Amino acid sequence: MGKYVYGPILSRRYGWSLGIDVMPKLKTCTFNCVYCELGKTSTKGYASLNFRVEMPPKFKEEFTEELQAKLVEHASYIRAITFGYNGEPTLNKNLDIILDITRKLRYEAGIEKVPITILTNSSTLGDPSVRKVLLNFDIVIAKLDGGTQEILQYVNRPHYSIPPFDGIVNNLCLLKKEMKTDTKLYIQTLLYKVNPPTSIKSNARGDNVVAIASAINKIQPDQVHVYSVAREPAEPSVIKVSKLELIELSDLMANNVDRSIDIYYFP
């Protein structure tokens, strides 16, 4: 793995995807999700809403060199370039510059149709400067695992500075309204169960997916993706839901929204 660019890795949704990590080596996130595959968020890496990561001097040259080399090797078969990995990428103060370089190099590699996507936990979208950068991605994939404040709290364990659930939903609505038609918003929901005895609570519940459906009706995203745990979670009692349960919960969600739901199940 390079300093900023990794892969290509086989992505669940896009096939071969080149990864861009704009976060420090220490996982830095406004959430501490019970299912996070990067482990628990440390006290130092647990970021407030206003915390921003600044890139080191000369990052433009280093990033350009790394991405150029990866594109020379892999441009012919990659299907996406995805920002995300070691935390919440919108906490990076220089995200706009990194995106500009990526768009330029994508053009030079002759693969303008390969989408540049970003994974966000949706917590920072109240900041107009964050939304402004996100509007220049091709696809924004935003997390929504709980349909109420209570569920958001126990699943994602947000930093206390993060807006409440209704505020997050309003910010997602705002982002969607600001997007031009060539930028897409996907909502992704991870559902998990737990192995008792544990104080951790499951979010794979009918009332939760109905509540998420209600938020989706407000946000009007372009797609909704439902999936479950695929790798070792931060909390050992967290386990994946079965394919059948995932289908049943997704069907329940779909019955309460005016769109289809895409299910991603990995045995």
| DSSP state at residue 3 | S
Q: Please count the residues of this chain forming the interface with ligand SF4, following the rule CB under 6 A.
A: 10
Is residue 32 part of the contact set for ligand SF4 (CB under 6 A)?
yes
Shortest distance, CB of residue 31 to ligand SF4, whole angstroms? 4
Select the residue interacting with ligand SF4 from 117, 121, 202, 250 (CB under 6 A). 121
Which residue type, as a one-letter code, is found at position 97? I
Alpha helices in the chain (DSSP H): 59-74, 95-108, 128-134, 149-156, 165-178, 206-219, 243-255
* Least distance to ligand SF4, CB of residue 53, Å: 13
Of 102 and 121, the one with the shorter C-beta distance to ligand SF4 is 121
The piece of 31-39, 45-53, 127-135, 215-223 that touches ligand SF4 (CB under 6 A) is 31-39
Q: Using CA atoms, how far apart are residues 40 and 31, in angstroms rounded to an integer?
A: 9
User: What is the distance between the alpha carbons of residues 32 and 38, in angstroms, rounded to a whole number?
Assistant: 10
| Site for ligand SF4 contains 151 (CB under 6 A) | no
CB nearer to ligand SF4: pick between 36 and 80: 36
Segment interacting with ligand SF4 (CB under 6 A) among 29-37, 91-99, 204-212, 221-229 = 29-37
What is the C-alpha to C-alpha distance for residues 125 and 187, in angstroms, rounded to an integer?
Answer: 14
Quote the least distance from Cβ 8 to ligand SF4, whole Å. Answer: 20
Query: DSSP letters along 73-128, please?
Result: HHTTT--EEEE-BSB-GGGBTTHHHHHHHHHHHHHHTT-TTSPEEEEE-STTTTSH
191 is an interface residue for ligand SF4 by CB under 6 A: no
- Which listed range, 28-36, 50-58, 105-113, 169-177, lies at the site for ligand SF4 (CB under 6 A)? 28-36
How, if at all, do strands 80-83 and 15-20 pair? parallel
Residue 31 in contact with ligand SF4, rule: CB under 6 A: yes
The nearer residue to ligand SF4, 160 or 181, going by C-beta atoms, is 160
Smallest separation (angstroms) from ligand SF4 to the CB of 15: 22
Greatest Cα-to-Cα distance within the chain, rounded to the nearest angstrom: 55
User: What type of residue sits at position 137?
Assistant: F
29 in contact with ligand SF4 (CB under 6 A): yes
Q: Determine if 41 is a binding residue for ligand SF4 (CB under 6 A).
A: yes
Is the preceding peptide bond at 221 cis, omega within 30 degrees of 0? no
Q: Beta 80-83 vs 116-120: how paired, if at all?
A: parallel
Residue in the block written with tokens 């890139």: 55
| Both tokens assigned to 229 | 């745990």
Among the residue ranges 36-44, 99-107, 165-173, 175-183, the one whose residues contact ligand SF4 (CB under 6 A): 36-44
Give the chain's length.
267
* Site residues, ligand SF4 (CB under 6 A): 29, 31-33, 36, 38, 41, 87-88, 121
